[in-house]
A and B are shown apart, each in its own frame.
Chain A
Amino acid sequence: MNRMTSGNKVTFRLLRGEGGDNLKEVSYDVEAETGWVVLDAVLNIQAKQAPDLSVRWNCKAAKCGSCSAEVNGRPRLMCKTRLDDLDTTQPVVVHPIKSFPHVKDLVTDVKWNYEVNKRITPFTPAPNADFTYFQEDVDRVQEFRKCIECFLCQNVCHILRNHEAHDRFVGPRFFVRMAGLEMHPMDTADRTEQLAAADGVFMCNITKCCTVVCPEEIHITDNAIIPLKERVIDRKDPVQWLFRKLAGKK
């Protein structure tokens, strides 16, 4: 890999503008330091050239999921995208994520996600349950709980991005959340009806775009969505229902 040194001039083309009107790419040249990520450059542009440049960020360590954007057309966390992994002989183009309304510059309105989240049946343990459970019981749940809510999966899911089915499909992030609840060994709630109906789990046709962009490397389709679909089908199967009843499972 070509590791660049400090002082290299890199050109950035950032999408700028408010509320979807008159959006245009604006060029900025920066002197990049060794090991910079895209977020370093954007914050440098903000401090030195464009003080009103809007961007969301927090941890700068890939733990909070705030700085999602499309870098050269690829959905990434800006804090995890190193300049020396990009072709900096060409301008680096940064756009905001797209499946949600644009606010300003690199910021989009992601409130819809927080509204969807409210509809999910919360963690529901049995009263006075004994919380003794084992690591192997929760390895798969812990995978889902790694999610940092960067919403990159929501951004690339074609059902949201192209079909704009926000009113009948909750998107990969919330299937991951529900998988984490459904597979929690102490949970007793049943979310399958909601998954099948209002949440639209069967609209997912397993293109795996979400899995590809997940910065936490969660196997969203294989480990969350497909098992949830199976669970919904199982739940409707009378033989499975009787088996669960006899075995005392939810």
Chain B
Amino acid sequence: MADYQVHEYDVLVIGAGGAGLRAAIECATLGAKTAVICKSLLGKAHTVMAEGGMAAAMGNVDKADNWQVHFKDTVLGGKYMGNWRMQQLHAQESADRALELEKWGAVFDRTPEGKINQRAFGGHTYKRLAHVGDRTGLEMIRTLQDRAVAQGIDVFMECTVVDLLTDGGRVVGAFAYWRETGKFIVFKGKATIMATGGIGKMFRVTSNSWEYSADGQALALRAGAELIDMEFVQFHPTGMVWPPGVKGILVTEAVRGEGGLLKNSKGERFMEKYDPKRMELSTRDLVAKSIYTEVKEGRGTEHGGVWLDISHKDAEYIKKKLPSMYHQFKELADVDITKEPMEIGPTMHYVMGGIRVEPDNGAATIPGLFACGECSGGMHGGNRLGGNSLSDLVVFGKRAGEGAVQFAKANQGSIRVDEAQIKRAEENLLRPFASNAKHTPYDVHFELQDMMSDNVGIMRTGEDLKKAIASFPAMNEKLRTSRVEGSRMFNPGWHLWADMQNMLLVAEVVAKSALQREESRGAHTRLDFPKTDTGYWESVNSRATVENGAVNVGVFEKPTMPGELKSLVDGESK
């Protein structure tokens, strides 16, 4: 007899951050029997860490704002690499999604007129980010969580999906284990929505949590789907750099949005050299590279960062608008940000690339699979603007939900899962318990983090990238033979072993995509190809697939923006 539970749903949503919850809410609203499956407890997903706000052109503060300007900002911020249709839908619908959150109980900070307040952020022409101090993500996830709970959606918490199940190329379910007991569980679903977030844990210095192990991207690849734009990895300009224990923890862009200044060790506002017009509120790719350059050229702080200073603002105002930053520095670094500058440097933060989807309904390139949020690609192109992620989650979460329900309704027949696939997944997952090798998955993890940070980081060269690519066979083998000890009950070493398979696969995609793109654009900087190529490389997106375990990268022609949208982008800024 099979040693696993089986559950059947119309739609499976994998991941319970902003995108997954918004997708699940849509599915349930449309009458689909829906399950949410998530690795952590409900409400702990990465969205909870988002700080600065949600971009939505409501025009509550700057009346001149509208979706057209938001669209243009996003296209320019993405360095022309983004999918125009996703960027259009996002700009048009994010205001409705913000107001919807408010109707579901989210309590955003207010304007004097009693509307949702909006703040300035890098790359946004107008004050555009709906926010709650610097804990906007918490507000968003709690609102969505409460809504999903009120709808009675089934949530499988602390349950990790390790493989998608397919039937003739169509995704029909997922194989998972309970983190607590280590027991296996099979989900059958007419449609599956991937909403698993990012890939940050393959880097040494990152603002991402343990959950960001590239699961959705890897599962989709192994099931036959395509990824795009994976060379575009965002390094947030401002992470903590000191003390070592906190290295990488995010310092919200809202510090700059509220007037924070960047200075080098000589006290110069160095952004004057790199982007005199927008200064501190330039796009993240540019600010991160500027900081990198200042430090590299010897104008960094003692611990290899630069200064971010908001202390010229009124202390009470800082505490009101940036409360968690105030506490974070006070408690973790003994720095009072109302009096002293913060020491900061770039930290890996976000991946622009991801699962290739249809803009309107989130459908991946294989039937039955949908994706939304950070694990999907296309929306942000070569660089994401701050605040465009929280809005992305709810705009495309809703759309992926609609797409999945439509697919489920059109494919009502009974679901057949392949026992052989399940057996293979089980055997694979139990193999490391039999190893008595000296090395553990943690050793492989540190090796991967060092390799990615040193060779596939913020500044890249063909030589380094080739070195990285050449190291994957050995790392894969090392993982395969590594040792997991203890029982199957809540065993982090074992969990990491499973996650590492995903990280290694997707890391190879990132390195190969980065080697392929022989230019510098947005978050992808090649020291051996320092110029942006407005010809060929601007006309193509990269794509990646896996066949028989081998990673293949290539390109496809970037969809052409229609004339009326192009004129919005080419028109004069107001």
Contact = CB atoms under 8 A, between A and B. Distances in A.
B493 interface: yes
A54 B179 CA distance: 10
A105 B245 contact: no
Nearest to B209: A58
A37 B245 contact: yes
B486 A35 contact: no
A131 B42 CA distance: 28
A20 interface: no
Interface in A50-74: 51-66
A241 to B, nearest CB: 26
Interface stretch (B43-51, B169-177, B378-386, B543-551): B43-51
Nearest to B207: A61
A66 B110 contact: no
A36 B245 contact: yes
B442 A62 contact: no
B494 A57 contact: no
Interface in B206-250: 209-211, 242-246, 249-250
Contact of B107 (A19, A52, A57, A145): A145
B358 to A, nearest CB: 31
B41 A110 contact: yes
A25 interface: no
Interface stretch (A133-141, A191-199, A202-210, A223-231): A133-141
A146 B104 contact: no
A132 B114 contact: yes
A62 B328 contact: yes
B146 A65 contact: no
Given A52-B491, A138-B110, A149 B43 contact: yes
Contact of B211 (A18, A58, A80, A109): A58
B146 A122 contact: yes
Give the bracket for the number of chain A residues in contact with chain B. 35 or more
Contacts of B44: 58-59, 64-66, 149
Contacts of B245: 33-37, 40
A52 B487 contact: yes
A93 interface: no
A55 B490 CA distance: 8
Given A125-B103, A135-B110, A181-B105, A52 B243 contact: no
A37 B333 CA distance: 11
A133 B110 contact: yes
Interface stretch (B88-96, B132-140, B183-191): B132-140
Contacts of A117: 149
Contacts of A33: 243-245
Contact of A104 (B133, B242, B324, B489): B489
Contacts of B440: 47, 51
A35 B209 contact: no
B385 to A, nearest CB: 22
A35 B493 contact: no
A151 B334 CA distance: 26
B443 to A, nearest CB: 8
Query: Per DSSP, are chain A's interface residues mostly helix, strand or loop, or mixed?
Result: loop
B491 A63 contact: no
A48 B489 contact: no
A88 interface: no
A137 B111 CA distance: 12
A82 B180 CA distance: 28
B570 interface: no
A8 interface: no
A48 B49 contact: no
Interface string A221-250: 000000000000000000000000000000
Nearest to A121: B150
B149 A51 contact: no
A122 B110 contact: no
A65 B48 CA distance: 10
Nearest to A131: B102
Contact of A18 (B114, B139, B487): B487
A146 B38 CA distance: 23
Contacts of B494: 52
B105 A184 contact: yes
A132 B113 contact: yes
Contacts of B149: 117-118, 122
A39 B241 CA distance: 18
B492 interface: yes
B331 interface: yes
B40 interface: yes
A6 interface: yes
B246 A35 contact: yes
A14 interface: no
Contact of B41 (A18, A56, A105): A56
B442 A135 contact: no
B244 A62 contact: no
B433 to A, nearest CB: 11
A144 B132 CA distance: 13
A97 interface: no
Given A60-B249, A123-B105, A135-B109, A34 B490 contact: no
A183 to B, nearest CB: 10
Nearest to A59: B49
A63 B492 contact: no
B500 interface: no
B21 interface: no
Given A35-B246, A63-B324, A181-B105, A145 B486 contact: no
B430 to A, nearest CB: 15
B492 A35 contact: no
Interface of A: 1, 3, 6, 18-19, 33-37, 40, 46-48, 51-66, 80, 82, 103-105, 107, 109-111, 114, 117-118, 122-123, 125, 131-135, 137-138, 141-142, 145-146, 148-149, 181, 184, 187
21 contacts: A6-B244, A34-B245, A35-B332, A35-B333, A52-B485, A52-B492, A54-B491, A58-B210, A62-B331, A64-B44, A66-B40, A82-B332, A103-B490, A111-B157, A122-B105, A123-B104, A132-B114, A134-B110, A134-B112, A146-B138, A149-B44
Interface of B: 40-46, 48-49, 99, 102-105, 107, 109-110, 112-115, 132-133, 135, 137-139, 142, 146-147, 149-150, 155, 157, 180, 209-211, 242-246, 249-250, 324, 327-328, 331-334, 440-442, 445-446, 484-487, 489-494
Can you list the 10 inter-chain pairs with the closest CB atoms, starting with the nearest?
A35-B243, A52-B486, A51-B493, A123-B105, A122-B150, A132-B114, A54-B490, A47-B442, A36-B245, A135-B110
Given A36-B244, A114-B41, A148-B48, 14 more contacts: A18-B489, A37-B246, A37-B332, A48-B442, A51-B442, A52-B484, A54-B490, A58-B211, A61-B250, A65-B44, A111-B157, A135-B109, A148-B138, A184-B107
